[in-house]
Amino acid sequence: MEGAAAREARGAETPRASEPPPAPSEPPAAPRARPRLVFRTQLAHGSPTGKIEGFTNVRELYAKIAEAFGIAPTEILFCTLNSHKVDMQKLLGGQIGLEDFIFAHVRGETKEVEVTKTEDALGLTITDNGAGYAFIKRIKEGSIINRIEAVCVGDSIEAINDHSIVGCRHYEVAKMLRELPKSQPFTLRLVQPKRAFDMIGQRSRSSKCPVEVKVTSGRETLRLRSGGAATVEEAPSEFEEEASRKVDDLLESYMGIRDPELASTMVETSKKTASAQEFARCLDSVLGEFAFPDEFVVEVWAAIGEAREACG
């Protein structure tokens, strides 16, 4: 016969009916799906609107645009954002606003001009499209090139003295032009962007005429990278914009090039350094192919510091 003490012990082991069973462990929340980034695009001289996605750098972007319009990627000279005009202030660099409209400027007529270098500087500022074409971004008022009407902002430089420079970076082209001897004529083979009036007879006014596009003031951008995947980032801060502008001005002054993406990379590099010497070492490791002179690096470091102080 079972004793009272045993019955009490057994009863103590039985869970009370009022206590609910433990809830099963919940599976970890699935990561939020990244939205598809789809951009609208047109050919600047006139075309239907296409949609592109899935690119991580400028070469892939050009390939997607070319696929959308059935042309070769090498036909694209450069792209502008939210304007079909040859507007160097709207030039596509390494960042695209998520609501930006992309206009691709393609090859038009080829022309050759003869230039005599009577001064050290020709008055050209060179940039490139990140995919093998260097082109003219600015022409200095009163310069040698400014006196040659056939040369225009937006013209791609295809050859110097019949030597092809396709595939060269902007700083390489600027160096070639600086090193040309004075008082000796040379030839430039240029390719101008195709103009809208070239297609007037083939365009329907309603669907194919390029338009100015107004976009909302979203603060996120797609950052294109030469290596690795593109990333969605906040738009540059006031300090980053001011510092990049100052660095881009110095690039033009020292090297005859303008490159907002290169300037932005230099500003980003400066954030990881505490002195001009450390900054110079980091630039050598990240951008060694440019071989920046020491005095230029010192001026860049000072300009970034001025922008930081001005922006608080």
Q: Which pLDDT score is estimated for 207?
A: 37
CATH number, domain with residue 151: 2.30.42.10
Q: Which pLDDT score is estimated for 98?
A: 86
Q: Which pLDDT score is estimated for 27?
A: 58
Q: Which pLDDT score is estimated for 165?
A: 96
Residues 48 and 175 in one domain: yes
Rounded Cα distance, 33 and 144, in Å: 55
DSSP class of 235:
P
Range of the domain at 270: 236-311
Last residue of a domain, one of 168, 193, 218: 193
pTM of the predicted model as reported, rounded to 2 decimal places: 0.74
Q: Which pLDDT score is estimated for 263?
A: 92
Rounded Cα distance, 308 and 312, in Å: 6
Q: Which pLDDT score is estimated for 21?
A: 58
Backbone angles phi, psi at 145, to 5 degrees: -70, -35
Longest dimension (CA), the chain: 125
Q: Which pLDDT score is estimated for 288?
A: 87
Residues 159 and 271 in one domain: no
Q: Which pLDDT score is estimated for 277?
A: 94
Spell out, as residue ranges, where the chain has pLDDT lower than 70: 1-35, 197-219, 223, 225-230
Task: Report residue 250 CA to chain centroid gap.
Answer: 18
Residues 63 and 127 in one domain: yes
CA angle 87, 90, 95 (to 5 degrees): 150
Structure tokens at 183: 């008082």
